[in-house]
Structure 1
């Protein structure tokens, strides 16, 4: 890597899941993803709703939390599912990528859950993971399942507001986090098992060309996961396994190394607070949310 050493940033604890909400148990999710260990939570999907409330998902327990303060956690929804990514839809509802059920809609006022997209042409998903909305109200989402280097058939799909569905990528080795640049002209996809972030231009006709490797994280037990783009078009990439969040500029030049290992080795996702400077990070194994203040460009 022929760039200057990225600036190391150390996050602080923003909030920790209260003991009363921790449910250590073995489940079908933990059997498949944690070797059968009993887990009390696995936080993901950080986002803000239209009212400015901060929310996260808890995959194995089918929960969505509102974090009103570091000690005030409220269960907004609890259901039989595995909610992962979450994003604010143009309608004001929250959209969830649920590994078991596909795309779901969550009413932030009542906590009610409704199906949004369960199949494509009657075919079920491999296991959807994360999503982002573009400026036209279309949802771009990853269909990861158990794909990887042994089976590079993960997909990136686009659901238009009128119900049309585009298949943009179908050869992904574990497509996971997804983000758009500020102009909405290019899409970033974290290919977890390849330890890469891909970038490709977006077109209205769903033709994809010149997809390229934009950023590579160090190889290890788990590659890039959730991502966020700030107001300066810098991309932030959660990297569980190494316990890091990497930040790079719009050209893929590494700028920041946010070291989360003082709290855990599994930062899975991130989003920016409304102030545009504070990056909030889900550290999933410890059940904590971390905060890092990101310096402006120099």
Structure 2
């Protein structure tokens, strides 16, 4: 495992809403995020001394999670309640692209990427638990996550993979020959081949991570894949997962009702297209909790969180 270095915070920026779960940076350095009340926000000037400008772009009517910028001034939104959406950033109009797969309503749409051929790939974290009970899936270890594909012009999603452990963030390789899928419940990144002799096959990409990978983000084909770690490894949870299914189900029922407070340890990783870790940045006893996303802009790392009422601006590491 790559030796960790310090994650250095520069400022915390309140945004007037809770849960900026995913953060993505546009070509002008502005950051877009979706919050708990269903709004899509654009934050400008995050790395400047003055207070940032917060603009409401749209309201999904649900709970936006993963975001993906499109080249035609639009935004893909994985909404945990409404499915896969398309938002026109100029008008704020929201359109449902698909809300079901294989005859089943999407319960927990999580993250999406759009490739150059117009196809959209997206994840469903759990078929058993909704977002508000996400911890139940991690405890029960259901393995009901999915990877899906929406072909250009289609409104019917194709199921490519099943049995993933809390499928979450997605990122393409630089040449779009494969996708990297975060499996939060298995502490790993998985490679799904799109082209070549292994097209349609799954294989390990980066395993035994030091925490639970959440959203992924990539700045262009030559940049690394940034990986947010929503929490550190939990040894008692690893031990529990060796138990019988009835014990896991009972523990999950308790977990979804118990008070939850995230760890104060935060961390992010950067990996290359060979699955090698380029950076492992971490901070213990942080005032910012549960990092569910990270993007890079203007020489800074921007951290999002399902838990917080704002975002954190941190130093970006030197390029490797």
Q: TM-score, normalised by structure 1?
A: 0.80
Alignment of 1:61 with 2:61, yes or no, is no
Give the Cα separation in 1 of the matches to 2:167 and 2:214: 9
Moved more, 123-132 or 62-71: 62-71
Name the counterpart of 1:292. 315
Asked whether the equivalents of residues 62 and 83 of structure 1 are also in contact (C-alpha less than 8 Å), the reply is: yes
The count of aligned residue pairs is: 268
Whether 1:263 and 2:255 are equivalent positions in the alignment is no
Q: Find the residue that maps to 1:211 and give its secondary structure.
A: strand
Structure 1 spans left out of the alignment, 5+ residues = 23-40
Equivalent residue in structure 1 for 2:161, among 164, 169, 178: 169
Whether the 8 Å CA contact 1:55–1:67 is kept in 2: the answer is yes
Q: Could you list the per-position Cα deviations for residues 112-154 of structure 1 after superposition, in whole angstroms to 9, with x for gaps in the alignment? A: 2221112235421131001111121211100113344632121
Q: Does 1:253 align with 2:251?
A: no
- The answer to whether the Cα contact below 8 Å between 1:266 and 1:283 also exists between their aligned partners in 2 is yes
Give SS of 2:185's match. helix
Q: 2:185 aligns with which of 187, 193, 210?
A: 193
- Partner residue of 2:11 out of 13, 23, 26: 13
Equivalent residue in structure 2 for 1:215, among 189, 203, 207: 207
For the structure 1 residues 205 and 105, does the alpha-carbon distance in structure 2 shift closer, same or farther, using more than 3 Å as the test?
A: farther
Q: In structure 1, how many angstroms separate the alpha carbons of the residues matched to 2:100 and 2:202?
A: 28
Counterparts of 2:289 and 2:314, CA distance in 1:
15
Partner of 1:35: none
Which stretches in structure 2 are left out of the alignment for 5+ residues? 130-136, 233-265
User: How many Å apart are 1:89 and its aligned residue?
Assistant: 2.3
Provide the rounded CA distance (Å) in 2 between the counterparts of 1:235 and 1:169: 21
- 2: CA distance, partners of 1:206 / 1:62: 39
The correspondence for 2:296, drawn from 272, 278, 288, is 272
Tell me if structure 1 keeps the 8 A contact 2:7–2:314.
no
Three-state SS of the structure 2 residue aligned to 1:224 is strand
Given that residues 193 and 199 in structure 2 are in contact (C-alpha distance below 8 angstroms), is that contact kept between their aligned partners in structure 1?
no
Q: Paired residue for 1:234?
A: 224
3-state secondary structure, aligned to 2:195: coil
Higher helix share: 2
Following superposition, the deviation at residue 74 of structure 1 comes to: 2.0
RMSD between superposed Cα atoms in Å: 2.6
224-233 or 78-87, which moves further after superposition? 224-233
Verify the 8 A CA contact 2:225 2:270 in the aligned structure 1: yes
Higher relative CO (Cα under 8 Å, sequence separation at least 6) belongs to 2
Find the aligned partners of 2:197 and 2:114 in 1 and give their Cα distance: 17
In structure 2, the partner of 1:46 is: 23
TM-score, normalisation: structure 2: 0.75
After superposition, the C-alpha distances for 1:95-116 in whole angstroms (9 at most, x for unaligned) are 1000111011111112222211
8 Å CA contact 2:229–2:268 kept in 1: the answer is yes
Distance 1:203 1:167, change over 3 A: farther
Residue 154, structure 1, aligned to residue 145, structure 2: yes
Higher mean alpha-carbon deviation, 89-98 vs 198-207, is at 198-207
C-alpha separation in 1, matches of 2:174 and 2:185 = 26
**Which of 252, 256, 267 lines up with 1:244 in the alignment?**
267
The superposition leaves residues 183-204 of structure 1 with CA deviations (integer Å, 9 ceiling, x where unpaired) of 1111111111111111121139
Residue 283 of structure 1 contacts residue 290 of structure 1 at CA under 8 Å; is this kept in 2? no
Q: Give the CA deviation at 1:207.
A: 5.3
